[in-house]
Amino acid sequence: MSIPFPQYGLPQGYTPPYENYVDPNQVPPQMPHITENAHVAKQGGRTTTSQPKVLNVTLRGESKTEVVALTVAVLDADRAKNKLEVLEERLRAIEGGGSYEFEDAASLCLVPDVVIPPKFKVPDFEKYKGTTCPKSHLTMYCRKMATHAHNEKLLIHYFQDSLGGVALNWYMLLEPTRISSFKDLVDTFLKQYKYNMDMAPDRMQLQNMAKKSS
């Protein structure tokens, strides 16, 4: 006599109840829940708040590897932000922001209250760059400004247009308290470039010399 083999699985025609049934293919993935806490620190005498600082991590359907990677990315972004703020402070210190009061333009002028004559046109000067005789340059400048020889403030103000290179930088660094007349400017200029008068002419200067008709 043969014994019938029992049937495995659900009986035929069995229908599971639909109440509280959730299709696993339709459940949206849940992101990890991260608890953030502000970090307050003092840098350079001021209080800064950096966000975010990850303290507690609760897993919700995500692997530990993904949560650790997200935590590291947030911390790296926070450190990079702090480094950027430090670099900006150092750049502002190097550039010396605020050391020049450009809102007061009069303080930057060598001669204040200079009066420009009507229809005045600046002559074309040969730029002095600190390598030739300063007396020759002064003679050239005064001859081209002969019509305004009695206006000392105008002579001082436009002397910068006849300079170039290091000579122009020298003029820009002059202190207004030391230059009260055009004679003061001439004496300071000759003292600065006196070494050019003591030097013997080089071959290039000798080649550029020409014999006069007299």
What is the residue extent of each domain of the chain?
29-95, 108-203
Span 106-123, mean pLDDT? 83
What pLDDT was estimated at residue 72? Answer: 67
Span 156-167, mean pLDDT? 93
**CA Rg value for the chain:** 42
> Among 105, 107, 104, 114, which residue's Cα sits nearest to residue 157?
114
In this prediction the pTM is 0.46
Torsion of CA 161, 165, 167, 172, to 10 degrees: 70
- Band of pLDDT at residue 113, cut at 50, 70 and 90: confident
* Lookup: tokens for 154: 């105008």
Taking only the tens place, the pLDDT of each residue in 196-212 is 877 666 677 777 777 77
Q: Report how far residue 153's alpha carbon sits from residue 116's, in angstroms, rounded to the nearest whole number.
A: 9
Q: At 116, phi and psi to the nearest 5? A: -90, 125
What pLDDT was estimated at residue 30? Answer: 54
Which of 20-24, 67-71, 192-196, 201-205 comes out lowest in average pLDDT? 20-24
What pLDDT was estimated at residue 59? Answer: 47
Q: Report how far residue 67's alpha carbon sits from residue 198's, in angstroms, rounded to the nearest whole number.
A: 78
- Band of pLDDT at residue 56, cut at 50, 70 and 90: very low
Cα 172 to chain centroid distance, Å, stands at 22
Mean pLDDT of the chain: 74
